[in-house]
Chain A
Amino acid sequence: MGDKEFERPQGTEIVYERPKSLTDVVTHYCPGCTHGIAHRLVAEVLDELDARERAVLVAPVGCSVLAYNYFNLDTQQAAHGRAPAVATGIKRVLPDRVVFTYQGDGDLAAIGTAEIVHAAVRGERITVIFINNAIFGMTGGQMAPTTLLGQETTTSPKPTGRLAERAGYPIRVCEMLSQLDGAAYVARGSLSSPQNIAKAKRHIRKAFQAQLEGHGLGIVELLSSCNVGWKMSPVDALKWIDSHMVPVFPLGVFKDWSAAGVEAARLADSGVAAG
């Protein structure tokens, strides 16, 4: 943000700066966490779409509960899981604004399952950024609905980790929502590498376009790391996304209102992820 004036040496040009849609503060996120990347991607897309001044963020409950401090946007803080319902209320009152939710896997895929499913059923013109890091980070590392089989968390402990017989299976949100007629754009990206981050940004942009052009709900699931919750180094955590999460949560575009090329895009993404 432009609060602090930066004296630029003559003859130089700024090629990289903080997006206007982000505030100039230090976040509370743990070192190694990918929330910062996700925030930046969303902010860059909003800047590029010139949408900052008509954007309304709905913040969740979870690690990104304080997102209203980091996004330089009008924000409503929602109850746990209810962000899509809150976003529905906002969008119906202000149909020309850009309304989006930013939710984690506990918020969206556990307590808020009904809200996200029915927002998609209604084809709400909202955008959903879904952070899947396979764990409840904020509360200290409990099992999430997206926790992998065998993954150890504080509520799916050693020696078995998550056991299907006791705790069921990880939920694939994109595959589920792509079945709904009201979902216009459904894609899963990953924040594990620069290539995947670039691709994730394209998904995010498209999910906002689905809203701006009035096609329906757009959702991007971002496979994200929680190195602290996973008890790994940040680098190992990024590797773990590729080695463990991607096989369960394949990357790609599951639904695209501009249907042509969906299959091609999915295959291309899967190919890159597998390679």
Chain B
Amino acid sequence: MKGNEALAEAAVRAGCRFFFGYPITPQNEIPEYMSRRLPEVGGTFIQAESELAAINMVYGAAGAGARAMTSSSSPGVSLKQEGISYMAAAELPGVVVNMVRGGPGLGGIQPAQSDYYQATRGGGHGDYRTIVFGPATVQEGVDVMSKAFELADKYRTPVVILGDGMMGQMMEPVSLPEPLELAKVPLKPWATTGAKGRRPNVINSLFLDAEECEKHNLALQAKYDAIQATEQMAEIAFPGSDWFVVAYGTTARICREAIQEARAQGLSVGMVRPITLWPFPVNAFEKVVERAKGFLTVEMSLGQMVDDVRLAVNGRCPVRFFGRTGGMVPSDEEVLAEIEKMVEGRTR
């Protein structure tokens, strides 16, 4: 299946019945698929008038108790940040797919990873985080989709799936999970369904009293601490290696090729591949950092995740960076050359 369509089907199987979106390349197959698929399962698709409206429809639908999602690509996701901040503050679950393209501005339509900061630092205003997945294959995208809806409900927080244009357009065989029975989705007693036989439920992010607002932020932070403690996901390849490449998403697949070539040359190179970008999988780094001689972070950006790698490594060995940007995809030869430089201790 095409990556975008596989993700859409995975969402339906994860119990998503409400999709609100606005066209933007390279993710259009998601709304297109949802527009024909959701009516088959009694769901609703709306092509909204803007990304702003779409994310606020997700807000309303989530507040009414449904599993709801939206998808977009970089410029559109910038517009959604308002709603994502409000959802985080009002503690509403929901899933946002970003098939990242080159930026800033209108950028291009080729794959990129330059929205890492936006996704992992909250993206909108205020003290908040979103859970962020960076799947590397279409199959992994399908797998994290179920997880995304599950965690969104569990923590009542928006979850971002950070793909890229290449993953969205790529066709790969996938095995899809059995559809979730909607009756198995835990009840949401906080949802605004009409105050029948109970006090009114209010979904709100306004705290005019500074003490109250701080209290609310601290409660959110306690939730984020719990997420950081329990929800990190990463893959470590060749954990006993001397040197490590760090990459996520499509870039990790290119790096895997380069690592195989490097190992064929006798170089001791492994990989740390974050699957959750927030919480950043610092625990995976702890497993390898003590004996590592150095890390090479490779991204389709000019260096964003590398900051988190440096924080995780915390000065215990050198951290290098290689990236292509604007929709350019690094080749395995380029990555191999960077690995060789790292091992040889060359700066250029």
Contacts and interface: CB of A to CB of B under 8 A. Distances in A.
B196 A68 contact: no
A114 B53 contact: yes
A72 B199 CA distance: 8
A82 B86 CA distance: 11
Nearest to B67: A93
Interface in A55-109: 55-56, 58, 65-66, 68, 71-79, 82, 85-94, 97-98
B264 to A, nearest CB: 53
B203 interface: yes
A118 B56 CA distance: 13
Most interface-central of B49, B58, B196, B205 (chain A CB within 10 A): B49
B63 to A, nearest CB: 5
Contact of A115 (B53, B66, B204): B53
B195 A92 contact: no
A122 interface: yes
A98 B192 CA distance: 11
B192 A74 contact: yes
Contacts of A75: 192, 200-204
Contact of B194 (A56, A58, A114, A118): A56
Contacts, number: 136
Contacts of B82: 79, 82
B200 A74 contact: yes
B64 A82 contact: no
A55 B64 CA distance: 12
A92 B20 CA distance: 11
A202 interface: no
A56 B194 CA distance: 6
Given A68-B204, A79-B82, A94-B64, A74 B195 contact: yes
B193 A56 contact: yes
Size class of the B contact interface (CB-based, 8 Å): 35 or more
Interface string B248-283: 000000000000000000000000000000000000
Nearest to B52: A82
B113 to A, nearest CB: 28
B195 A82 contact: no
A92 B53 contact: no
B59 interface: yes
A77 B57 contact: no
B46 A77 contact: no
A72 B56 contact: no
A54 interface: yes
Contact of B61 (A89, A98, A115): A89
B204 A90 contact: no
A88 B202 CA distance: 17
24 contacts: A54-B194, A55-B195, A58-B60, A65-B206, A73-B195, A73-B200, A74-B192, A74-B195, A74-B201, A75-B201, A76-B90, A76-B192, A77-B202, A77-B203, A78-B86, A79-B56, A79-B83, A82-B52, A89-B56, A89-B60, A90-B63, A90-B192, A93-B66, A117-B49
